[in-house]
Amino acid sequence: MTQVKHNDVVQAEGIPVYTLAHLSDPHLTSLDDVKMRELLNKRLLGYLSWRSHRREEHRAEVLQALVNDLREIQPDHTVITGDMTHVGLPQECREVSAWLSSLSDARCLTVIPGNHDAYVAAPWGKTMGLWTSYMASDTAASLTRDALFPALRERGPLALIGLSSASPTPPFFATGRLGVAQLAALERLLQETGARGRIRVLLIHHPPMKHAIGWRKRLTDGDALCGIIAKHGVEMVLHGHTHRSVMDKLQTDSGEAPVIGVPSASGIGLKPGKRAQYHLYHFYDGPWGRRLRISVRGYDVEEERFVAQGTRQSSLPAE
Element (H, E) at 151: strand 151-155
Alpha-helix runs per DSSP H in 196-316:
222-232
From residue 187, alpha-carbon distances to 161, 181, 226, 227, 237 in Å are: 11, 10, 11, 10, 15
Cα dihedral: 277, 284, 19, 194 (round 10): -100
> From the CB of 86, what's the least distance to Fe ion, in Å?
9
Tell me whether residue 23 or residue 225 sits nearer to Fe ion (CB atom). Answer: 23
> From the CB of 167, what's the least distance to Fe ion, in Å?
15
User: Among 31, 46, 1, 34, which Cα is nearest to 19's?
Assistant: 1
> From the CB of 289, what's the least distance to Fe ion, in Å?
35
- Binders of Fe ion: how many residues, by CB under 5 A? 2
Distance between CA 47 and CA 31 in Å, rounded? 7
3-class state of residue 178 by DSSP: coil
Per CB under 5 A, which region of 61-69, 77-85, 88-96, 125-133 contacts Fe ion? 77-85
- When binding is defined by CB under 5 A, the residue of 57, 69, 76, 83 that contacts Fe ion is 83
> From the CB of 207, what's the least distance to Fe ion, in Å?
12
The 8-class DSSP code of residue 149 comes to -
Distance between CA 23 and CA 243 in Å, rounded? 11
Tell me whether residue 83 or residue 221 sits nearer to Fe ion (CB atom). Answer: 83
The pattern of x and - marking residues 7 through 26 that bind Fe ion according to CB under 5 A reads ------------------x-
The pattern of x and - marking residues 23 through 52 that bind Fe ion according to CB under 5 A reads --x---------------------------
> From the CB of 281, what's the least distance to Fe ion, in Å?
21
> From the CB of 318, what's the least distance to Fe ion, in Å?
34
> From the CB of 162, what's the least distance to Fe ion, in Å?
17
What are the helix and strand counts (H, E) for the chain? Answer: 8, 12
Alpha-helix runs per DSSP H in 177-306:
180-195, 222-232
Per CB under 5 A, which region of 80-88, 145-153, 155-163, 184-192 contacts Fe ion? 80-88
Element (H, E) at 134: helix 132-135
Per CB under 5 A, which region of 78-86, 138-146, 247-255, 286-294 contacts Fe ion? 78-86
Tell me whether residue 137 or residue 175 sits nearer to Fe ion (CB atom). Answer: 175
User: Among 257, 254, 243, 284, which Cα is nearest to 18's?
Assistant: 284
Tell me whether residue 8 or residue 56 sits nearer to Fe ion (CB atom). Answer: 56
Please tell me whether residue 117 binds Fe ion under the rule CB under 5 A. no
> From the CB of 58, what's the least distance to Fe ion, in Å?
9
Per CB under 5 A, which region of 36-44, 83-91, 223-231, 299-307 contacts Fe ion? 83-91
Contacts of 101 by beta carbon, 8 Å cutoff, 6+ apart: none
Tell me whether residue 27 or residue 297 sits nearer to Fe ion (CB atom). Answer: 27
Q: Concatenate the DSSP letters of all residues of 44-79 into one string.
A: HHHHHHIIIIIHHHB-HHHHHHHHHHHHHH--SEEE
Query: How big is the chain by its Cα radius of gyration, in Å?
Result: 18
Tell me whether residue 25 or residue 76 sits nearer to Fe ion (CB atom). Answer: 25
Tell me whether residue 83 or residue 92 sits nearer to Fe ion (CB atom). Answer: 83
List residues near Fe ion by CB under 5 A.
25, 83
